[in-house]
Amino acid sequence: MNHSLSDDSSLPITSRKIFVSLDTTARSRGSDKVAKQVESVLNAQPELAATLVRNGSRGMFWLEPLLEISTPKGRVAYGPVQAEDVNNIINQHCFDDISEHPLCLGLTEELPWFKSQQRLTFARVGIIDPIDVEDYITHGGFVGLSNALSKTSQQLVDEVKESGLRGRGGAAFPTGIKWQTVLDEPEQQKYIVCNADEGDSGTFADRMLMEGDPLVLIEGMIIAGLSVGADQGYIYLRSEYPQAHSILNQAIDNAKTAGYLGDNICGSEHSFHLEVRLGAGAYICGEETSLLESLEGKRGLVRAKPPLPAIEGLFGQPTVVNNVISLASVPYILSHGGESYRDFGMGRSRGTLPIQLAGNIAQGGLVELAFGISLNELLQQYGNGCKSKRAMRSVQVGGPLGAYLPEEQWDTALDYEEFSSIGAVLGHGGIVAFDDTVDMAAQARFAMEFCEVESCGKCTPCRIGAVRGVEVIDKITDEKNDPQQRQDSVDLLHDLCDTMEFGSLCAMGGMTPFPVRSALKFFPDDFLPHPSTQKAQ
């Protein structure tokens, strides 16, 4: 580094910051202990004149707890740091040369894993203090809202249409079209509902965003409100996310105090009220109509469509229901223009996708990139193979209702249509890797078991089909059955999958066949009789 210690000491006190993440996964790796140790060192040595900031995570979870120190050249990263390393790092290296400490990784933003990403929606996650409105504004926050306040509702909806943004929750419905439908409804009580019921295993982008930059979600919801004429918003958050709950509530309070929520936001004639509501451990409530039932205080039973929620949604009123990432992408679109967002991506998948690498993966975390990268590049270049150092055998993309993909399909580009063409789904961008010890018959069985546990029970193919699905898979793998009986069961399973796919009201029953069929198709040997298949709980 060019800067000596004396140069640094001439910096204003506030520029000396030490960052330790408060993200759930960082905490699960011990970041609270590290932060506590930083505080005690700073208290014992006030001459260091530094402050501790609890930020979101950069998404490089194998390096958490990551400790970053601001320097005139940028933030310098150390990781993974344990509490006992803290004193040494701060005292020997805090404001001095960056290279010598064994845990020093160099400038955070020069790390190849991070540098090669295209962070539009996650631009501030891991950088700012998540609940600090001033910090948010310093890093480009509320520019989109400020632009939005000078536009008409139709202009706002047009900008979102122009961006090509499609719902990031998994269904990939064009956001602008949904908003247009709500805008076109006569003036009345309308609602903006954020679907933060991120229940798919292997996904955590919503959680990271809500913990690391909740104000961008709040800003996106305010803009959505202005776009369709809604003055009330709800964030339906799953109860499995206690940290996100606490941070969202603090961010909402701070946004209210700063005049961004409530009546006459930013001195305008517009109002927007926002509240977090907790789910209660029901996967089905991630389905938008079930979510609305739950918000109304009922059992989360799926509604038949039509009517669309955009016309008859929450409490029977026109309602925008959007995923966290969809709404959090809107401030970028309004600050940089729809066209700028549209310039990223491929085909009809425009913009960026926050991809989550999970399961048996050496470098798990969040990678935000334009659509179009191949699964292979993600698994190898970013994920660095299996954490177990064994061969990777299968990956499930798009959550529990997504297909299992064998190696020959890993050259597929991340794009809604490309995935659809191979009978798979991109969903919310979660990728779960499995090594060669995986038993794919057990995974197929689990898909049915999960559907049995989580089905809302409204329609028969899902409610009963899932139970029969578990039974029939057991018959296929049961060594006591002869080959003909097993083959009959395979035929029956295909038949059952068809019934579930075409006869269910929503994606729960309709897509449970995806992981089952793909496991059966690409990994048939796993369905040969073997004693290892897990029996029911």
Partner 1 sequence: MTATNEQGLQKIATIIEQNQTLPGAMLPILHAIQNDLSFIPSNALPLIAKALNVSKAEVHGVISFYHHFRTEEPGAHVIEICRGESCQAMGSRTLEENIKQSLSIDYHQTSKDRQFTLEPVYCLGNCACSPAIRIGDDIHGELDLQKFEQIIKSINTYSLELK
Q: Report the interface residues with partner 1, using CB under 8 A.
A: 24-25, 27-29, 61-62, 198-204, 206-207, 239-243, 277-283, 294-300, 315, 356-361, 364-366, 387, 396, 400, 430, 432-435, 438, 442-443, 446, 450, 453-454, 456, 534, 537
Q: How far is the CB of 24 from partner 1 (least distance, A)?
A: 5
How far is residue 516's CA from residue 497's CA, in Å, rounded to a whole number?
Answer: 8
Residue 194's closest CA among 168, 212, 176?
168
Query: Which amino acid, 451?
Result: C
166 backbone dihedrals φ, ψ, rounded to 5°: -120, 150
Residue 78's closest CA among 88, 68, 87?
68
CB nearer to partner 1: pick between 52 and 278: 278
Q: Are strands 17-21 and 67-71 parallel, antiparallel or unpaired?
A: antiparallel
Residue 327's closest CA among 218, 456, 401?
218
CB nearer to partner 1: pick between 110 and 296: 296
CB nearer to partner 1: pick between 95 and 404: 404
Q: How far is the CB of 195 from partner 1 (least distance, A)?
A: 15
CB nearer to partner 1: pick between 53 and 209: 209
Listed in sequence order, the DSSP H helices in 171-213 are 175-184, 205-212
Q: How far is the CB of 383 from partner 1 (least distance, A)?
A: 10
CB nearer to partner 1: pick between 18 and 284: 284
CB nearer to partner 1: pick between 423 and 457: 457
Do residues 180 and 174 lie in contact, with contact meaning Cβ atoms separated by under 8 Å? no
DSSP secondary structure string, 92-148?
HHTTS-SS-STTEEEEGGGSHHHHT---STTTTTTTS-TT-HHHHHHTTTTHHHHHH
Q: How far is the CB of 360 from partner 1 (least distance, A)?
A: 4
CB nearer to partner 1: pick between 163 and 356: 356
Please identify which residue in the block is written with the tokens 């539009």. 120
Q: How far is the CB of 427 from partner 1 (least distance, A)?
A: 12
Q: Are strands 352-359 and 430-435 parallel, antiparallel or unpaired?
A: parallel
Q: How far is the CB of 122 from partner 1 (least distance, A)?
A: 14
Assign residue 389 a region: left if phi > 0, alpha if psi is -120 to 50, beta otherwise? left
Q: How far is the CB of 366 from partner 1 (least distance, A)?
A: 8
Q: Hey, what's the torsion of the CAs at 24, 26, 27, 28, to 10 degrees?
A: 90
Q: How far is the CB of 254 from partner 1 (least distance, A)?
A: 21
CB nearer to partner 1: pick between 258 and 278: 278
Half-sphere exposure of 298 (CA within 13 A, CB side): 13
CB nearer to partner 1: pick between 185 and 240: 240
CB nearer to partner 1: pick between 153 and 189: 189
How many CB atoms are located within 10 Å of the residue 502 CB? Answer: 11
Give CA angle at 385 (381, 391), nearest 5°: 140
CB nearer to partner 1: pick between 16 and 458: 458
- Partnered with residue 355 across adjacent β-strands are 367
Q: How far is the CB of 220 from partner 1 (least distance, A)?
A: 20
What tokens were used for 78?
Answer: 């150390």
What tokens were used for 100?
Answer: 């010598």
Q: How far is the CB of 447 from partner 1 (least distance, A)?
A: 9
- Partnered with residue 433 across adjacent β-strands are 359, 395
Buried b vs exposed e over 267-291: b needs ≥16 C-beta within 10 Å?
eeebebbbebebbeebbbbbbbbbb
Q: How far is the CB of 37 from partner 1 (least distance, A)?
A: 18
